[in-house]
A and B are shown apart, each in its own frame.
Chain A
Amino acid sequence: MTGHRTDPPRPEDRGGGAPALLPSLLEDSAEDLYENAPCGYLSTLLNGQIAKINTTLLKWLGYAREELVGLRTFSDLLTAGGRLYHETHFAPLLTMQGAIGGVALELRAADGTRLPVLVTSTVKCGADGRPQLIRTTVFDASDRRAYERELLRARREAEVERERLQRLFATLQRSLLPPSLPAVPGLEAAAYYHIASRDRVSGDFYDVFQLTADRWGFFLGDVCGKGAAAAAVTSLIRYTLRAAAVYDFDPVTVLDTLNTALHRESHGDDPRFCTVIFGILTPDGDGFSVTLASGGHPPCLLLRADGAAEYQTTPDGLLVGVFPGATFTARRIRLAPGDTLLLYTDGLTEARTAAGSTPDGRYGEPALRAFAARLAPAGAAGIIAALAVLLDGFGDGLGDDAAALALGVPSPRARGALTG
């Protein structure tokens, strides 16, 4: 409708001077309206027997009145599946509610063809309030049904596509993470990974890999963004870090190389950067020596054999890939027997929880440190298991992806237990 409006002609405007005819008089027969209404009418007794049916419905179905009235039931007109639906849903609801509307059924015409209809029924009660008969209106719904079928088909297709996509994401995700952590003699390593949504690829990543006979590299980080673009950047980061570490064991040089690579790949509207901690592990007496550098990543936590838990901050260390001349600084840590180093992404500390330690209700670094202090001393597997329980308890509060990597030197007692 547009804003244009035409006034209906007034009776006296009509030519010929004939007596004015009220439009309502054109529809002067209730009987004719019933018989030839643009919808089907049907009245049935409480046992379903057809008591009255209008001409429109008879025409649609191709039956003569005397073939149906007093002889057949409403149920007889339905397909077998429709009859089941009628008996298990329609009839009970009609009895309980006295009315039911907009039910989709199919009627069987005399020639076997099917007529999709929308059915509305009400129970007519007598003066004593007891149900007497059922009045039913039947609308031709062929077009609507075709449309709905298309909707259903599209929905099923969308569901199948979504599953396919989720499988693809899961495969892609697996390809970005080590299938298992390598065995490092004298070191216990464990990792945790939580993906917030099955509908996209996470931007968190980690790895542990061997460089020489007695040297291992490890990293854990978080790519800016999520999804396919983040997956591509993660892939770039992984092979750059692994390749750079082969040529130079200095974490600062490795992060410099990554910074250059990411910055070169970065375009104005497609920034590519990440936060990451990269480190080198070398055996050192009864423990390990760790050299690590951070590029804008939350500090790792060191759980000491004596029960202490402290963040290991690194000076400098900006986001990797943003500034061409970013500088990184390395830090050395010694892992003695019983010590464990925990790296994590901010999905963990940013989770919303009642147990939070920040003013805006996030879990926060203070709470994580307290959590670690309660655990310490603890082995890598033990810490990761406890973290998994903790994160599970966050429920919906854990809105983002989260990853954690623990590297620990088993204490002599634990080692004895492992080997003995």
Chain B
Amino acid sequence: MGRSGVSTRNHVKVTGREDGPTVMLAHGFGCDQNMWRLVAPALARDFRVVTFDHVGSGRSDLSAWEAERYAALDGYADDVLRICRELDLPEVVFVGHSVSAMIGVLAAIREPDRFAKLVLLVPSPCYIDDEGYRGGFSRADIEELLESLDSNYLGWSAAMAPVIMGNPDRPELGEELTNSFCRTDPEIARAFARVTFLTDHRADLAKVGVPTLVVDCLQDVIAPPEVGAFVRDQIPGSRLVTLPATGHCPQLSAPEATIEAIASFAAHR
């Protein structure tokens, strides 16, 4: 792995006020940084906004994906730290959606000085039910998700690979394709689904030493309310805000409330 630069590797975009505090927005499993399209422009008025695609998602460098490196969330946390280092980002307010909330937690444990604050948007440290803990899913449910991924990626390699690999002979394919925000190589999608939904990071929460805001939604089938409360209880000194939103993507379904929650916490000294 060379230092080919994170801007290509992770398709990093920096917008907003150059002299503003840095807000880094990390997308979750499923789509890419387009998830922040309703939120980033508003935040850019007051903050320097950094968005990126995890390796294997969106327009990241798919050739940089390695099964071994990304078999644990640490590989992704390592990428976050690398972006911070290469762009020389100080005092980052890291906003992680879904699985990226836990990626942020891991990054902040490793290099606490790099982060001013953490915003965990609909986080879950463990999706699988356990004794005395309700994550909302069983292992069989996750197997079903993998099946859903498979049946929706049928024919992907043939149809999408030339586009994503940037086939120079077929420039007409270069345009943005329908559903492309949420597509990637099926093998990568499976691996990311596994690491997202089958890892247990509950024990890491107590190690967070950065001011943290937990944000959940009134109704979210992926991260039920007790999970948000669990995360709040485990991270020392953290606060929980529940948005009047439904679904697992409040940055799309309730962008104003999401912006408000992020901005007020990020700006607050």
**B35 and A87 contacting across the interface, CB-CB below 8 Å:** no
**A80 and B141 contacting across the interface, CB-CB below 8 Å:** yes
**B144 and A80 contacting across the interface, CB-CB below 8 Å:** yes
CA gap between A6 and B149 in the complex, in Å: 46
Provide the residues of chain A in CB contact with B150, threshold 8 Å.
Answer: 152
Q: Mark B136-155, 1 if CB is under 8 A from A, else 0.
A: 01101111111111111010
**A81 and B141 contacting across the interface, CB-CB below 8 Å:** yes
B221 interface residue (CB < 8 Å to A): yes
A247 smallest CB distance to B (angstroms): 53
Asked whether A92 and B31 contact (CB < 8 A) given A80-B138, A83-B221, A104-B148, the answer is yes
User: Which single residue of chain B is at the shortest CB-CB distance from A91?
Assistant: B247
**B252 and A95 contacting across the interface, CB-CB below 8 Å:** yes
CA gap between A93 and B176 in the complex, in Å: 13
A77 smallest CB distance to B (angstroms): 12
Q: Mark A279-313, 1 if CB is under 8 A from B, else 0.
A: 00000000000000000000000000000000000
Provide the residues of chain A in CB contact with B152, threshold 8 Å.
Answer: 85, 89, 103-104
CA gap between A91 and B248 in the complex, in Å: 9
**A92 and B30 contacting across the interface, CB-CB below 8 Å:** yes
User: Which single residue of chain B is at the shortest CB-CB distance from A101?
Assistant: B178
CA gap between A417 and B75 in the complex, in Å: 44
A227 smallest CB distance to B (angstroms): 25
Asked whether A93 and B247 contact (CB < 8 A) given A82-B148, A103-B152, A151-B154, the answer is no
Provide the residues of chain B in CB contact with A46, threshold 8 Å.
Answer: 246, 253
CA gap between A105 and B151 in the complex, in Å: 8
**A47 and B246 contacting across the interface, CB-CB below 8 Å:** yes
B56 interface residue (CB < 8 Å to A): no
**B148 and A105 contacting across the interface, CB-CB below 8 Å:** yes
Question: Range of interface residues on chain B?
Answer: 35 or more
A96 interface residue (CB < 8 Å to B): yes
Provide the residues of chain B in CB contact with A89, threshold 8 Å.
Answer: 30-31, 152, 182
B171 smallest CB distance to A (angstroms): 21
CA gap between A46 and B98 in the complex, in Å: 21
B224 smallest CB distance to A (angstroms): 12
A145 interface residue (CB < 8 Å to B): yes
User: Which single residue of chain A is at the shortest CB-CB distance from B245?
Assistant: A47
CA gap between A91 and B29 in the complex, in Å: 13
CA gap between A148 and B149 in the complex, in Å: 13
B181 interface residue (CB < 8 Å to A): yes
CA gap between A93 and B31 in the complex, in Å: 8
A174 smallest CB distance to B (angstroms): 26
A216 smallest CB distance to B (angstroms): 43
Name the contact of A88 in the complex, choosing from B29, B143, B151, B179 (C-beta under 8 A). Answer: B29
CA gap between A323 and B92 in the complex, in Å: 77
In B28-78, which residues have CB < 8 Å from any A CB? 28-31, 34-35, 37
CA gap between A209 and B90 in the complex, in Å: 64
In B93-135, which residues have CB < 8 Å from any A CB? 98
Question: Range of interface residues on chain A?
Answer: 20 to 34
B249 interface residue (CB < 8 Å to A): yes
A100 interface residue (CB < 8 Å to B): yes
Name the prevailing secondary structure of the A interface residues. Answer: helix
B257 smallest CB distance to A (angstroms): 14
CA gap between A148 and B150 in the complex, in Å: 10
Provide the residues of chain A in CB contact with B147, threshold 8 Å.
Answer: 81
User: Which single residue of chain B is at the shortest CB-CB distance from A144?
Assistant: B151
CA gap between A100 and B30 in the complex, in Å: 15
B259 interface residue (CB < 8 Å to A): no
B219 interface residue (CB < 8 Å to A): yes
Asked whether A85 and B149 contact (CB < 8 A) given A80-B144, A151-B154, the answer is yes
Provide the residues of chain B in CB contact with A106, threshold 8 Å.
Answer: 144, 148
In A69-93, which residues have CB < 8 Å from any B CB? 75, 79-85, 87-89, 91-93
Provide the residues of chain A in CB contact with B84, threshold 8 Å.
Answer: none
CA gap between A100 and B181 in the complex, in Å: 12
User: Which single residue of chain B is at the shortest CB-CB distance from A97?
Assistant: B178
Name the contact of B246 in the complex, choosing from A48, A85, A92, A151 (C-beta under 8 A). Answer: A48
Name the contact of B252 in the complex, choosing from A75, A83, A96, A151 (C-beta under 8 A). Answer: A96
B29 smallest CB distance to A (angstroms): 6
Q: Mark A90-125, 1 if CB is under 8 A from B, else 0.
A: 011101110011011110000000000000000000
A305 smallest CB distance to B (angstroms): 38
**A100 and B179 contacting across the interface, CB-CB below 8 Å:** yes
**B252 and A87 contacting across the interface, CB-CB below 8 Å:** no
B153 smallest CB distance to A (angstroms): 10
CA gap between A274 and B252 in the complex, in Å: 67
CA gap between A92 and B248 in the complex, in Å: 9
Question: Can you list 26 A-B pairs with a CB-CB distance of less than 8 A?
Answer: A47-B219, A79-B141, A81-B143, A81-B146, A82-B144, A84-B142, A84-B197, A87-B220, A87-B221, A87-B249, A88-B28, A89-B30, A91-B247, A91-B252, A92-B31, A92-B249, A93-B179, A93-B181, A96-B181, A100-B179, A101-B178, A103-B152, A104-B148, A104-B152, A104-B154, A148-B151
Q: What residues of chain B have their CB less than 8 Å away from a CB belonging to chain A?
A: 28-31, 34-35, 37, 98, 137-138, 140-152, 154, 178-179, 181-182, 197, 219-222, 246-249, 252-253
Closest 6 pairs (CB-CB, A-B) = A81-B144, A88-B30, A80-B141, A85-B148, A81-B145, A47-B246
